[in-house]
Amino acid sequence: MLRLGVLDQTPVLTGSNAVEAMKQTVELARITEKLGYSRYWVSEHHDTISLAGSSPEVLLAAIGAHTSRIRIGSGGVMLPHYSPYKVAENFRVLEALYPGRIDLGIGRAPGGMPAATRALRYGRPPEIAEAFPAALEELGGYLRPVRGTAEVRPGSGLQATPLVETSPEIWLLGSSDYSARRASELGASFSFAHFINGEGGQSAVQHYYETFRPGPLGAEPRANACVMVLCADTDEEADRLAAPLDLKLLLLEQGRFGIDITLEQALVYPYTEFERIRIRHNRKRMLVGGPEKIKTQLLEFSRSYGVEEVIVNSITPDFASRVRSYELVAGLF
């Protein structure tokens, strides 16, 4: 049976605000747990008005307090901005609060524009991003202390506290084969962001499985793929609800950020022929349709990736249709 997880980017929906977006994230976690989803991940974005989640660690503490079974995690923490030691401590705190339920998803993208990156790194040289593999090994040494990793820790015997008996699952997130290679070399689980890049993910996951070896980030290969899914009661309604997302992705490609788009505006937007081609291309990152169409597409998607778990990212014009999408998809499996 196909397992389904959730990626929630905490979108600030049209006519809403960041406070409401945070409440909706916590509420959606409660709902999807009841629906039987396997895990619930929240993202990290900076200096954007359309996505409210800038601190996944803080948001996860709230989500954990309102759920009891579903795995919760970051999708993901942008490690080049931070001290591996502090990231390890944050997630050990979460693991102590919610034992056996925490996923530490790690990315290397900036999660924002250059000004935000400079502020987050606070004067540290940009070359720190080039030390990503070493930072991963150091993080693994703090979270999963195994033979051969102690020498990468800065300080003899340094431990990330609190000391708890369980450890987070460590996932590398990526939209290319780079993170797949790093995950297979270091023993991490791997999640491909198909919702960002609709091409090349299947080969990246295949390479991950073929070359995986145990390491400081884990011992067993585990992979999934994340895709945008918009499910409604009919194919026609799903296609209608996808119109604002189609337009927003197009405007982002054109460097037009932070534009609030209503469903009505999207439905009457005067697309050029080239823009329609771009929308069809972006639809490769999305599954849109009624229940039967989505069931067929999800099964084909999981088979093409060779994975038994798919992470679903649903963004619709309003919260009710978002919830409905997750309800319909859960009912298929």
| DSSP string over 10-58 | -B--TT--HHHHHHHHHHHHHHHHHHT-SEEEE----S-SSB--S-HHH
Average pLDDT over residues 213-223: 95
Structural domain contains residue 247: no
Q: What value does the mean pLDDT of the chain take?
A: 92
Q: Give the pLDDT confidence score for residue 157 in this predicted structure.
A: 72
Structural domain contains residue 274: no
Q: Give the pLDDT confidence score for residue 147 in this predicted structure.
A: 38
Residue 316 contacts residue 322 (beta carbons within 8 Å): yes
283 membership: H or E segment, kind and range: none
Give the pLDDT band of residue 149 (cuts 50, 70, 90): very low
Question: What CATH code is carried by the domain that includes residue 184?
Answer: 3.20.20.30
Alpha carbons 45 and 103: distance in angstroms, whole number: 18
Residue 207's Cβ-side half-sphere holds a number of Cα atoms within 13 Å equal to 15
Q: Give the pLDDT confidence score for residue 332 in this predicted structure.
A: 96
Residue 328 contacts by C-beta under 8 Å, 6 or more apart in sequence?
231, 232, 233, 291, 294
Q: Which residue has the higher pLDDT, 273 or 113?
A: 273
Structural domain contains residue 304: yes
Structural domain contains residue 188: yes
What is the domain range of residue 27?
3-228+291-332
> Does the pLDDT at position 128 exceed 60?
no
Percent of the chain with pLDDT over 90: 82
Radius of gyration of the chain (CA): 20
Structural domain contains residue 270: no
Average pLDDT over residues 191-203: 97
Residue 64 contacts residue 33 (beta carbons within 8 Å): no
Tens digits of residue pLDDT in 164-188: 989 999 999 999 999 999 999 999 9
Alpha carbons 196 and 213: distance in angstroms, whole number: 27
Structural domain contains residue 255: no
Structural domain contains residue 157: yes
Q: Give the pLDDT confidence score for residue 127 in this predicted structure.
A: 62
Least Cα distance to 306 among 172, 180, 217 occurs for: 180
DSSP 166-190: ---EEEEEESSHHHHHHHHHHT-EE
Tens digits of residue pLDDT in 70-115: 999 999 999 999 999 999 999 999 999 999 999 999 999 888 888 8
Backbone angles phi, psi at 64, to 5 degrees: -60, -35
Structure tokens at 26: 């916590």
> Does the pLDDT at position 282 exceed 70?
yes
Number of domains in the chain: 1
Q: Give the pLDDT confidence score for residue 186 in this predicted structure.
A: 96
Alpha carbons 55 and 57: distance in angstroms, whole number: 6
Alpha carbons 245 and 43: distance in angstroms, whole number: 18
What distance lies between CA 104 and its chain's CA centroid? 11
> Does the pLDDT at position 151 exceed 70?
no
Taking residue 264's Cβ as centre, other Cβ atoms within 10 Å add up to 12
Classify residue 123 as exposed, middle or buried by CB count within 10 Å of its CB (0-12, 13-18, 19+): exposed
Average pLDDT over residues 15-29: 96
Average pLDDT over residues 286-298: 98
What distance lies between CA 276 and its chain's CA centroid? 27
Give the pLDDT band of residue 156 (cuts 50, 70, 90): low
Structural domain contains residue 201: yes
Q: Which residue has the higher pLDDT, 54 or 130?
A: 54
Taking residue 148's Cβ as centre, other Cβ atoms within 10 Å add up to 10
